[in-house]
């Protein structure tokens, strides 16, 4: 007989595992189907984020930043270090240990919340009397409510065979066995910049080829301009507006033929190549048609503002639906749908979801960019304050970047905050809180910020919207 549950979640990435935990907290009998098997052959929870995304990439970022600091930045503190070398194997095992701890942590949370983990590929089979039937491995489950959180996978380019040895997507790029002498990257997006920076700091000569004419077009223009200068100054070679042609793999490496914006034909020879040209939703063989659902033309599952599909008891969340492909966006959607199933009335303000690019310095923003406000014809004022005028930043040797606050010209409501700096991922949380509370720039300006701290730059930028920054 089929197992019966109140809530079945398909996928245990950050969207799905959080949805399962919240549903269990709310008293529902909850099961979560997850098929991920790691390279050791173990079934694991956590999805892309924990296994081959956010967590391992940030572990390698931290290791490479330590190496870079010792090589280039401790001398100014009067510290000299000789014979610095890097053991990529040890660095990778540290990353794997962190991933292992985190994925085991979710197993613990599942046990604690009495969530049944169904190991294997889930396929929706149909519905009967509002019960959704899903096959997971040998087992059939009937669910009163279904939450689809199947996530996304790397988009590959036709004619560019990813083997995750020589030509890598995010999975191979996180597990290179040695620092390549010459690393090519296709795509100057989030992954290209984060992982390109990791291997550059470890000593690779990194060349990034990007199709779009404008660098980081989603960012505020002042941020993308500053970031381009900083990253190329650090040694990343970034070419914009290219058209990728033939990509030839040999035992020694890869040759990428491409044409430049001016039309000339060029070749990039490299030892390893990372392809980071975006991600596509996982909806293949899911059986959506068996319950009358279909994906849109890009493969996403259509949902309303509350992540409900056209079936009232079927929801979809995370990377498999519209909106930014970010772990915290998926987590919030997971909480929201579990609470909706429980009859609550939660809501997400998608304009208040922060973005972070974990380069060095980091880039973070929330809300609208200056170019968006201009396009909307909205009257706004901007306040900018540089970290170069902040004592803590100077003491830390992290004085690059700035905070820019955009506020409504009449009401002073904060409309967007854009940061380039060390620790921007933490600083942006204050901006997200302020925007959720519909704060004005004056609210931030009147709040006491600790001294000396990087957060003082946020306050100074708020004061600068009214042309009254104190320390500049
Ligand atoms: P996923 O994490 O993709 O999880 C989906 C799960 O569903 C998978 O475990 C999959 O095995 C399972 N599944 C799929 N189909 C089935 C099926 N039919 N049956 C059973 N199980 C199934 N985001 C950030 O916010 N911050 C970052 O710093 C960040 N860094 C990243 C770095 C990299 C290199 C990458 C690739 C991504 C990064 N992201 C980051 C994006 C983030 O990983 C995703 O937005 C997030 O993982 C999406 O969560 P999800 O639960 O929707 O999907
Ligand atoms: P992306 O969308 O950030 O960047 C892809 C880049 O590749 C774009 O600039 C695009 O113009 C370019 N591109 C596309 N086709 C191309 C082609 N044929 N030739 C050359 N360039 C081409 O995608 P990315 O970096 O793969 O990351 C996927 C997603 O994962 C991100 O959008 C983000 O949602 C998530 N992510 C989030 C992180 C974070 O929050 N810090 C870190 C890493 C990933």
In a domain, 162, yes or no: no
Whether 451 sits among the annotated catalytic residues: the reply is: yes
Q: Is residue 471 part of a domain?
A: no
* Domain final position from 277, 297, 327: 277
Q: Is the CB of 157 under 6 A from ligand 2?
A: yes
Buried b (16+ CB within 10 A) or exposed e, 294-318: ebeeeebbebeeebebeeebbbbbb
Task: Please identify, among 238, 262, 277, the residue that sits at the C-terminal boundary of a domain.
Answer: 277
Residue identifier of the C-alpha nearest atom 19 of ligand 2: 211
Q: Is residue 161 part of a domain?
A: no
Q: Hey, whose CA ends up nearest to atom 6 of ligand 1?
A: 11
- Going by C-alpha positions, the residue among 181, 238, 180 that lies closest to residue 359 is 238
Please give the torsion angle defined by the CA atoms of residues 339, 342, 343 and 349, in that order, rounded to the nearest 10 degrees. Answer: 10
358 shares a domain with 214: no
Claim to verify: residue 247 and residue 295 sit in the same structural domain: no
DSSP assignment, residue 311?
S
Give bridge partners of residue 244 from the DSSP assignment.
258
Query: 309: which residues sit within 8 A by CB, 6+ positions away?
Result: 148, 293, 301, 302, 303, 315, 316
Q: Where residue 196 sits, what CATH number does that domain have?
A: 3.50.50.60
Examine residue 457 and state whether it is found in any structural domain, yes or no: yes
From the list 458, 442, 295, the residue with the least C-alpha distance to 366 is 458
293 close to 325: Cβ distance less than 8 angstroms: no
> Is 159 within the bounds of a domain?
no
Residues 212 and 266 in one domain: yes
Q: Give Cα separations from 35 to 32, 40, 404 (angstroms).
A: 10, 14, 43
- Which of 278, 281, 426, 432 best tests ligand 2's pocket when mutated (most atoms within 8 Å of CB)? 278
- Considering the domain architecture, whether residues 19 and 122 belong to the same structural domain is answered as yes
Q: Same domain for 72 and 201? A: no
Task: Give the residue, out of 189, 245, 268, with the most ligand 2 atoms within 8 A of its beta carbon, to mutate for a pocket test.
Answer: 189
In a domain, 160, yes or no: no
When divided into structural domains, the chain yields a total of 3
| 328, 264: one domain | no
Q: Are residues 316 and 370 in the same domain?
A: no
| pLDDT tens, residue by residue, 124-171 | 999 999 999 999 999 999 999 999 999 999 999 999 999 999 999 999
Asked if 32 and 150 sit in the same domain, the reply is: yes
| 120 and 13 belong to one structural domain | yes
Q: Which pLDDT tens digit goes with each residue over 86-102?
A: 999 999 999 999 999 99
Nearest-atom index, ligand 1, CA of 121: 19
Q: Which domain holds residue 242?
A: 167-277
What is the mean pLDDT for each group of 10 consecutive residues in the chain (472 residues)? 92 98 98 97 98 98 97 96 96 98 98 98 96 96 98 97 96 96 98 98 98 98 98 98 95 93 96 98 97 97 98 98 98 98 98 98 98 98 98 97 98 98 98 98 98 98 98 95
How many whole angstroms from 7 Cα to the centroid of ligand 1?
20
Q: Is residue 331 part of a domain?
A: yes
Mark whether 54 and 146 lie in a shared domain.
yes
| CB-based pocket (< 6 A), ligand 1 | 10-16, 33-36, 47-49, 53-54, 57, 121-122, 149-152, 170, 191, 282, 286, 318-319, 325-328, 330, 358
CA of 275 to the centre of ligand 2 (A): 9
Nearest CA to ligand 2 atom 35: 325
Indicate whether 261 and 219 sit together in one domain: yes
Ligand nearest to the CA of 173: 1
Shared-domain flag, residues 330 and 391: no
Buried b (16+ CB within 10 A) or exposed e, 161-185: ebeeebbbbbbbbbbbeebbebbbb
Residue 83 resides in a domain: yes
The pTM for the full model equals: 0.98
Ligand nearest to the CA of 279: 2
Tell whether omega for the bond before 48 is within 30 degrees of 0, i.e. cis: no
Q: Does the beta carbon of 268 sit less than 6 angstroms from any atom of ligand 2?
A: no
Closest residue by Cα to residue 405 from 360, 359, 455? 455
CATH number where 433 lies: 3.30.390.30
> Percent helix, strand, coil in the chain (nearest 5)?
35, 25, 40
Choosing from 225, 243, 277, the residue where a domain stops is: 277
């Amino acid at each position: 007989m089929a197992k019966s549950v109140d809530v079945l979640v398909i996928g245990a990435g950050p969207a799905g595992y959080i949805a399962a935990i919240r549903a269990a907290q709310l008293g529902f009998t909850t099961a979560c189907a997850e098929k991920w098997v790691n390279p050791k052959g173990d079934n694991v929870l956590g999805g892309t984020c924990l296994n081959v995304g956010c967590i391992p990439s940030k572990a390698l970022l931290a290791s490479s930043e330590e190496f870079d600091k010792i090589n280039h930045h401790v001398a100014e503190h009067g510290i000299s270090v000789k014979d610095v070398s890097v053991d990529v194997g040890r660095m990778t095992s540290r990353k794997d240990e962190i991933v292992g701890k985190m994925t085991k942590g979710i197993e613990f949370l599942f046990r604690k919340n009495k969530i049944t983990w169904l190991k294997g590929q889930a396929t929706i089979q149909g519905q009967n009397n509002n019960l959704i039937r899903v096959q997971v491995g040998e087992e059939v489950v009937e669910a009163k409510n279904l939450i689809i959180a199947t996530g996304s996978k790397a988009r590959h380019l036709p004619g560019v065979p990813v083997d995750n040895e020589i030509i890598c997507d995010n999975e191979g790029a996180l597990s290179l066995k040695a620092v390549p002498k010459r690393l090519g990257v296709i795509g100057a997006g989030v992954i290209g910049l984060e992982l390109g920076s990791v291997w550059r700091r470890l000593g690779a000569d990194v060349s990034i080829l990007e199709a779009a004419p404008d660098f980081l077009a989603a960012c505020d223009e002042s941020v993308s301009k500053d970031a381009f200068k900083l990253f190329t100054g650090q040694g990343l070679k970034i070419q914009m507006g290219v058209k990728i042609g033939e990509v030839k793999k040999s035992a020694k490496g890869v040759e990428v033929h491409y044409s430049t914006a001016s039309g000339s034909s060029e070749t990039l020879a490299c030892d390893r190549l990372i392809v980071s040209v975006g991600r596509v939703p996982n909806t293949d063989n899911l059986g959506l048609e068996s319950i009358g659902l279909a994906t849109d033309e890009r493969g996403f599952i259509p949902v309303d503002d509350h992540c409900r599909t056209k079936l009232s008891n079927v929801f979809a969340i995370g990377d498999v639906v519209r909106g930014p492909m970010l772990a915290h966006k998926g987590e919030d959607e997971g909480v929201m749908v579990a609470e909706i199933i429980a009859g609550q009335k939660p809501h997400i303000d998608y304009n208040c979801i922060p973005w972070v690019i974990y380069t060095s310095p980091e880039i973070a923003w929330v809300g609208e960019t200056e170019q968006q406000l201009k396009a909307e014809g909205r009257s706004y004022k901007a306040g900018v304050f540089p970290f170069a005028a902040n004592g803590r930043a100077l003491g830390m040797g992290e004085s690059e970047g700035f905070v820019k606050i955009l506020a409504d010209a009449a009401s002073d409501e904060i409309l967007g905050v854009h940061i380039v700096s060390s620790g921007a991922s933490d600083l942006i949380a204050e901006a997200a809180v302020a925007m959720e509370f519909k704060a004005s720039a004056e609210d931030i300006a009147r709040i006491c910020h600790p001294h000396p701290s990087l957060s003082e730059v946020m306050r100074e930028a708020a004061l600068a919207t009214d042309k009254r920054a104190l320390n500049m």
